[in-house]
Amino acid sequence: MDKIPVIGVAIVNGIHWLNRLIWSIDYPVSNLVIWNNNGKGELDAQLDLIKQIKHPLIDKIHICNLPQNIGLSAAWNMTIKSFAMEPYWVLVNHDIAFTEGFLQEMNEHAKDNEVGMVHGKIGDFDLPSYDLFLIKDWVINQFGLFDENLYPAYCEDADYIMRMMHRPIKVIKSISKPYYHGETTDYYKTGSQTRKANPELEEKLIKVNIKNFEYLNKKWGEGWRTCNPYLYPFDTLHIPITYTSWDIHYIRQKHLGF
């Protein structure tokens, strides 16, 4: 039977959502890797228990307790780098739950060699949502890893979409099976559980989002908001589409304190 090679998840809080995700897996998975971005030790003991789960459809659960929050883009990149020999990776928010047959359908779409990405559903502006997606090795090779300047979260999906805007590939924007984000299938009603769980964190992340918008304005021009970005990053011909950077001074301005 086919197996999904890797599912990668990053978490800051809400361990019950992660447990729900794990037990919603109904299709064989070789590796489930969980990046503990809590940075305060609050989840370590509970995640150690999760590592001991004997799930009948998961070969190996990897728990990576990080000393501090490295951000969502970095967690996605670490999933890819840690399993560099795999043909694709499924990246998913911790507060997702799969419905019956969802993962199997996603895997079936991935068998089409021309398909580069498979998304759970369509998001804003008829663009695919990045709360749950599959990305292939050749897409990473063509478009690069995720931009870790968009720390700790938000806009990493918009940046990747802008890279493809003038260079379209075959993408499955939505599959037939639904999935849960939070308590419902509607992200706008029950998504963003990480920030909702902590009002102080939510306030900080709102400010982070604004700063990340400013960064994308520089990188892609203000036209990125209407899906009309520069052809090349920072409107500079010699900068490849795969380019990312990590500006430590900019990162420090957005540090969450953990």
Each residue's pLDDT tens digit, 84-110: 999 999 999 999 999 999 999 999 999
Could you tell me if residue 179 is inside a domain?
Answer: yes
Could you tell me if residue 102 is inside a domain?
Answer: yes
pLDDT on residue 193: 66
Could you tell me if residue 183 is inside a domain?
Answer: yes
pLDDT at 195 over 90: no
Could you tell me if residue 57 is inside a domain?
Answer: yes
What is the distance of C-alpha 233 from the center of its chain? 21
DSSP SS3 for 49? helix
pLDDT at 142 over 90: yes
238 or 201: which carries more pLDDT confidence?
238
pLDDT per residue as tens digits for the range 15-59: 999 999 999 999 999 999 999 999 999 999 999 999 999 999 999
Look at strands 88-93 and 132-136 and give their pairing: antiparallel
Q: Looking at the 3D structure of the chain, how many domains does it have?
A: 1
**Quick one: pLDDT band at residue 192, thresholds 50, 70, 90?**
low
Q: In what order do the strands lie in the sheet with 115-119?
A: 58-65, 29-36, 4-11, 88-93, 132-136, 115-119, 170-172
Could you tell me if residue 18 is inside a domain?
Answer: yes
Q: What is the DSSP letter of 8?
A: E
189 or 176: which carries more pLDDT confidence?
176
pTM above 0.85, yes or no: yes
Could you tell me if residue 120 is inside a domain?
Answer: yes
Could you tell me if residue 258 is inside a domain?
Answer: no
Task: Find the CATH number of the domain harbouring 167.
Answer: 3.90.550.10
pLDDT on residue 113: 97
Give CA–CA dist 176/93, Å, rounded. 19
CA quadruple 182, 188, 193, 194: dihedral sign: positive
What is the domain range of residue 117?
A: 4-253
Could you tell me if residue 203 is inside a domain?
Answer: yes
pLDDT at 127 over 60: yes
